[in-house]
């Protein structure tokens, strides 16, 4: 990860050549692919998106045509988690779901981690609730994104968000309760 820090630092300080952003992919590719595999493993059999495609789509969103301005490893992986989340949300929306029909389903949020059941309605409901939660508490919403979409542990999230593991645990409990309540209220 030292090479990641050096490359990100060079990119954000402008001391790297313009292609430096492209150099980051080979360094973090295996870690991003592992995160994508974790996300897609929870999907139902027969889905069309593969881990490689998710990593590539997310990476294209990360790099784009403009300077990404990453502020370090935490910012990069936070941006990667957000990019993967957006790819999955876009895929769920593309499946042509109808907004909250009469067959609303109860969503259980486990105490160990949120899980993606590959039901586009639930993913879209979670995204909507997460957007509302981010307006209330950005740090806790970022913790949810890192845990759910990047598959990081509480300890890894605490390090990336620069909070104590105990705070990460409390934030996680609060975020799960908040999101559960928000999603339950939306299905009534």
Q: Is the pLDDT of residue 72 over 90?
A: no
pLDDT tens digit sequence for 6-51 = 666 665 555 555 566 666 667 777 778 887 887 777 666 666 778 8
Structural domain of residue 34, as residue ranges? Answer: 2-98+105-186
Number of domains in the chain: 1
pLDDT tens digit sequence for 115-135 = 444 456 677 788 888 999 999
Q: In 10 A of CB 153, how many CB atoms?
A: 13
Q: Which residue has the higher pLDDT, 188 or 153?
A: 153
Q: In 10 A of CB 121, how many CB atoms?
A: 20
pLDDT tens digit sequence for 76-100 = 777 787 888 888 888 777 765 544 4
Output the 3-class SS for 14-72.
CCCCCCHHHHHHHHHHHHHHHHHHHHHHCCCCCCCCCHHHHHHHHHHHHHCCCCCCCCC
Lowest model confidence (mean pLDDT) among 85-89, 137-141, 179-183: 85-89
Q: Confidence band (pLDDT; 50, 70, 90) for 161?
A: very high
Q: Which residue has the higher pLDDT, 166 or 103?
A: 166
């Amino acid at each position: 990860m030292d090479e990641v820090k050096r490359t990100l630092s060079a990119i954000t300080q402008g001391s790297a050549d313009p292609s430096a952003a492209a150099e980051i992919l080979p360094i973090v590719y295996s870690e991003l692919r592992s995160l994508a595999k974790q996300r897609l493993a929870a999907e139902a059999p027969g889905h069309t998106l593969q881990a490689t495609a998710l990593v590539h789509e997310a990476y294209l969103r990360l790099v784009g045509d403009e300077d990404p301005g990453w502020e370090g490893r935490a910012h990069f992986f936070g941006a990667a988690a957000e990019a993967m989340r957006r790819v999955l949300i876009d895929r769920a929306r593309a499946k042509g779901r109808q907004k909250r029909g009469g067959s609303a389903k109860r969503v259980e949020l486990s105490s160990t981690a949120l899980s993606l059941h590959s039901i586009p309605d639930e993913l879209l409901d979670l995204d909507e609730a997460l957007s509302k939660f981010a307006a209330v508490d950005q740090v806790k919403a970022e913790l949810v994104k890192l845990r759910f979409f990047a598959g990081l542990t509480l300890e890894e999230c605490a390090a990336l968000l620069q909070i104590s593991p105990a705070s990460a645990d409390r934030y996680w409990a609060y975020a799960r309760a908040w999101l559960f309540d928000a999603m339950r209220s939306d299905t009534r």
